[in-house]
């Protein structure tokens, strides 16, 4: 009997894995449906803000003194002389084909090519920051509940609260001043040869607020689990505190942790723009701000949409990782 | 404990809840109003000068008095934050309360809208909207924050109203023939003001930080009287005049910190009652 059961088990294992993968995919698709909605809403808002708010976009691009003929030329180039519905349709089609026309500031370069060039540095910065923040935060949360630090756990918790309450915009420039100007351990802002250490320092700063939030929520979630039966069982079987907290408790606490990471992504992206400005790094934020200053409408639209896309992609990744760790997060 | 002592204790708690923010607002407003310092008056020969007796915070770009700049910028940031969170409170609370009472499709759509708005990167939203304006004023910035300010209030109010809708006094009001709208405004909203008011401080701190970030990247008000512009000045002159950066960063920490403390105080006060 038992042999038969084992054989059936081994036969169904590959299909089980396929089904599990499909379920995982369905989960990610279902959860990102809302995120895609966010993306379309953001894109539509950029589109509508320029066309529905009072004021002539052509005058925004060229300045008030430009001649009527020049303005008409720009209007034709941006398609502003067509009815709003037709403009919106071609805007959405352009988004789908990743073609929103050429940059106004640099004729001959497509807006999405500019964005593609900027996407790399920003993805590196934001991605590294999410990874570092999650790691640091989870480590701090586990250290806050485990027995290793003894009474110093309270101090760690307080430090986490202080970091969580300190805005990035005030501690990032101060830390840069202290570490780059005073102690000279990290490269100065704007140093073109800063390379990997510059990236690491910037993403380390960017990861701190995320790490503090993850630590705060993760600690609360782990403390909630503290009296769960399965942890007592794991300890009674002779599991070390490390095994009890990291192997048994942490996956069960992954739901609130991935929720807080997903919720912090918008702030992280805003922080990335601020840090790119602070360190004079090339990237999506820098591109967006220069397109804003030059009123380069196609590049501005493309870069805002690309930033939204980055946001959605990382959010989907957070959901995927959660579903991977915690089977309760998968769609039934 | 006598009712008298309890009332006094409650008053003390209320005081400790709003004290940090009120103190900050009072001090900066007094500084800004009483002194004849103005961030518009420039003394070019004092540009980037370190702190001195006449200018305790030193001078910034083009010889602007940093004490005047910080106090005026803080008062304006606090005023903006107060107005935006008041708007969010006034719009979000009734909406959320109605969603929690009416349930059904209305609640689903309200919560869906909250999700959408709260998952928006506010900074991108601000950039998208402000790009259509020639030179964004404080009014424009405030309007952008208002687009998202109502959502956290609506969410908290909806969660509370869901609980309240099962309570006996709401059932009694229904049995007496009161309409749903009347129930929302007469019975539900007054009972969820406590938890919702915790959100005001958090919202205000968020607005202050958002305005600072916009000012830092050059999307601030054109007069340059904003904490973000001050930090931007400070980072540009980091090597030459580090006191500018220090003043700006400490001011931002103090303002957002005291708003968060106020919110935490309100939370304790509400939970103890």
Between the ranges A37-41, A72-76, A85-89, where is the mean pLDDT highest? A85-89
A167/B253 CB distance under 8 A: yes
pLDDT reported for residue B68: 84
Confidence tier at B36 by pLDDT (50, 70, 90): low
Which of the pair, A157 or A331, is modelled with greater confidence? Answer: A157
Which of the pair, B162 or A49, is modelled with greater confidence? Answer: B162
- Asked if pLDDT for residue A196 goes beyond 50, the answer is yes
Which of B120, B127, B145, B204 to mutate to test binding with chain A, by most A CBs within 10 Å of its CB? B127
Contact A203, A132 (CB under 8 A): yes
- Asked if pLDDT for residue A6 goes beyond 50, the answer is no
Number of CB atoms found within 10 A of residue A58's CB: 23
Percent of chain A with pLDDT strictly greater than 90: 12
B209/A169 CB distance under 8 A: yes
Confidence tier at A133 by pLDDT (50, 70, 90): very high
Long-range contacts of A172-176 (CB under 8 A, 24+ apart): A172/A205, A172/A274, A172/A275, A172/A278, A173/A278, A173/B231, A173/B234, A173/B235, A173/B238, A173/B245, A173/B248, A173/B249, A174/B245, A174/B246, A174/B249, A175/A205, A176/A205, A176/A278, A176/A279, A176/B235, A176/B238
Is the CB of residue B135 less than 8 Å away from at least one CB of chain A?
no
Q: Looking up tokens 């940093």, which residue turns up?
A: B66
pTM of the model: 0.82
Distance to chain A for B261, nearest Cα, Å: 10
Average pLDDT over residues A46-74: 75
- Asked if pLDDT for residue B1 goes beyond 70, the answer is no
CA–CA dist A258, A315 (Å, integer)? 9
Percent of chain B with pLDDT strictly greater than 90: 18
The residue among B6, B9, B27, B24 whose CA lies nearest residue B201 is: B24
CA–CA dist A249, A245 (Å, integer)? 5
CA–CA dist B165, B167 (Å, integer)? 6
Question: Which residues does B237 contact at the CB level (< 8 Å), separation at least 6?
Answer: B48, B60, B61, B244, B245
B218/A293 CB distance under 8 A: yes
CA–CA dist A86, A73 (Å, integer)? 19
Which of the pair, A9 or A171, is modelled with greater confidence? Answer: A171
Average pLDDT over residues A283-308: 85
A181/B212 CB distance under 8 A: no
Closest chain B CA to residue A189: B235
pLDDT reported for residue A14: 66
The pLDDT tens digits for B188-200 are 998 888 888 888 9
Distance to chain B for A113, nearest Cα, Å: 20
Average pLDDT over residues A271-290: 88
CA–CA dist B119, B152 (Å, integer)? 11
Distance to chain A for B177, nearest Cα, Å: 39
CA–CA dist A203, A201 (Å, integer)? 6
Average pLDDT over residues A24-43: 72
Contacts of B124 in chain A (CB under 8 A): 42, 266, 269-270, 304, 307-308, 311
pLDDT reported for residue B16: 67
Contact A244, A235 (CB under 8 A): yes
What are the phi and psi torsion angles at B65 (to 5°)?
Answer: -75, 115
Average pLDDT over residues A121-129: 90
* CB < 8 Å from A in window 153-192 of B: none
pLDDT reported for residue B94: 94
CA–CA dist A312, A318 (Å, integer)? 10
Contacts of B123 in chain A (CB under 8 A): 266, 269-270, 273
Is the CB of residue B125 less than 8 Å away from at least one CB of chain A?
yes
Average pLDDT over residues B51-70: 80
pLDDT reported for residue B267: 81
ipTM: 0.79
Confidence tier at A3 by pLDDT (50, 70, 90): very low
- Asked if pLDDT for residue B55 goes beyond 90, the answer is no
pLDDT reported for residue B3: 62
Burial-class residue B113 by CB neighbours within 10 Å (0-12, 13-18, 19+). middle
Instruction: Give chain A's mean pLDDT.
Output: 81
Distance to chain B for A1, nearest Cα, Å: 51
Percent of chain A with pLDDT strictly greater than 70: 90
pLDDT reported for residue B272: 62
- Asked if pLDDT for residue B128 goes beyond 70, the answer is yes
Say which of A35, A50, A173 has its CB closest to residue B131. Answer: A50
Confidence tier at A46 by pLDDT (50, 70, 90): confident
Picking from A152-156, A227-231, B155-159, which range would have the lowest pLDDT averaged per residue? A227-231
Distance to chain B for A210, nearest Cα, Å: 15
* CB < 8 Å from A in window 215-234 of B: 216-219, 228, 231, 234
- Asked if pLDDT for residue B121 goes beyond 80, the answer is no
A169/B231 CB distance under 8 A: yes
The pLDDT tens digits for A66-77 are 778 888 887 777
């Amino acid at each position: 009997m038992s042999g038969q059961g084992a054989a059936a088990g081994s036969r169904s294992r590959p299909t089980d894995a396929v089904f599990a993968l499909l379920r995982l995919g369905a989960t990610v698709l279902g959860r990102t449906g809302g995120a895609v909605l966010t993306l379309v809403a953001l894109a539509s808002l950029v589109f509508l803000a320029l066309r529905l708010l009072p004021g002539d976009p052509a005058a925004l691009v060229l300045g008030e003194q430009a001649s009527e003929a020049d303005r008409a030329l720009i209007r034709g180039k941006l398609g502003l002389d067509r009815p709003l519905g037709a403009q919106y349709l071609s805007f959405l089609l352009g988004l789908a084909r990743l073609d929103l026309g050429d940059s106004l500031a640099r004729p001959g370069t497509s807006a999405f090519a500019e964005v593609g060039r900027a996407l790399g540095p920003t993805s590196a910065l934001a991605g590294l920051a999410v990874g570092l923040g999650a790691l640091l935060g989870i480590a701090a949360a586990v250290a806050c509940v485990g027995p290793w630090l003894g009474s110093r756990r309270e101090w760690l918790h307080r430090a986490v609260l202080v970091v969580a309450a300190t805005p990035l915009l005030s501690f990032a420039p101060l830390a840069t001043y202290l570490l780059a100007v005073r102690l000279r351990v990290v490269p100065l802002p704007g140093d073109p040869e800063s390379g990997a250490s510059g990236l690491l320092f910037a993403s380390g700063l960017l990861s701190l607020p995320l790490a503090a939030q993850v630590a705060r929520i993760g600690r609360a979630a782990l403390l909630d689990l503290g009296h769960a039966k399965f942890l007592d069982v794991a300890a009674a079987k002779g599991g070390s505190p490390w095994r009890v907290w990291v192997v048994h408790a942490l996956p069960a606490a992954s739901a609130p942790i991935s929720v807080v990471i997903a919720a912090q992504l918008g702030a992280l992206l805003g922080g990335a723009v601020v840090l790119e400005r602070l360190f004079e790094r090339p990237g999506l934020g820098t591109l967006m701000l220069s397109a804003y200053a030059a009123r380069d409408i196609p590049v501005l639209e493309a870069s805002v949409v690309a930033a939204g896309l980055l946001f959605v992609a990382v959010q989907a990744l957070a959901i995927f990782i959660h579903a991977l760790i915690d089977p309760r997060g998968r769609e039934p | 404990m006598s009712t008298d002592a309890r009332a006094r204790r409650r008053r003390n708690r209320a005081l400790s809840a709003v004290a940090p923010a009120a103190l900050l607002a009072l001090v900066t407003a007094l500084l800004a109003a009483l002194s004849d310092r103005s961030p518009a008056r420039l003394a070019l020969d004092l540009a980037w000068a370190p702190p001195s007796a006449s200018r305790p915070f030193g001078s910034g770009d083009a010889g602007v008095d940093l004490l005047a700049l910080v106090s005026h910028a803080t008062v304006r940031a606090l005023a903006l934050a107060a107005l935006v969170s008041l708007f969010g409170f006034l719009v979000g609370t009734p909406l959320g309360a109605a969603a929690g009472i009416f349930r059904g499709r209305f609640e689903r759509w309200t919560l869906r809208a909250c999700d959408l708005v709260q998952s928006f990167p506010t900074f991108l939203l601000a950039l998208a909207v402000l790009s259509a304006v020639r030179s964004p004023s404080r009014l424009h910035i405030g309007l952008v924050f208002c687009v998202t300010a109502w959502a956290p209030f609506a969410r908290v109010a909806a969660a509370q109203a869901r609980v309240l809708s099962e309570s006996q006094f709401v059932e009694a009001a229904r049995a007496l023939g009161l309409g749903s709208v009347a129930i929302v405004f007469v019975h539900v909203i007054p009972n969820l003001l406590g938890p919702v008011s915790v959100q005001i401080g958090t919202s205000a701190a968020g607005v202050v930080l958002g305005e600072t970030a916009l000012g830092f990247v050059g999307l601030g008000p054109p007069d340059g009287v904003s904490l973000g512009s001050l930090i931007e000045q400070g980072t540009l002159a980091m090597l030459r005049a580090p006191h500018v950066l220090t003043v700006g960063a400490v001011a931002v920490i103090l303002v957002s910190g005291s708003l968060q403390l106020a919110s935490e105080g309100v939370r304790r006060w509400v939970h103890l009652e």
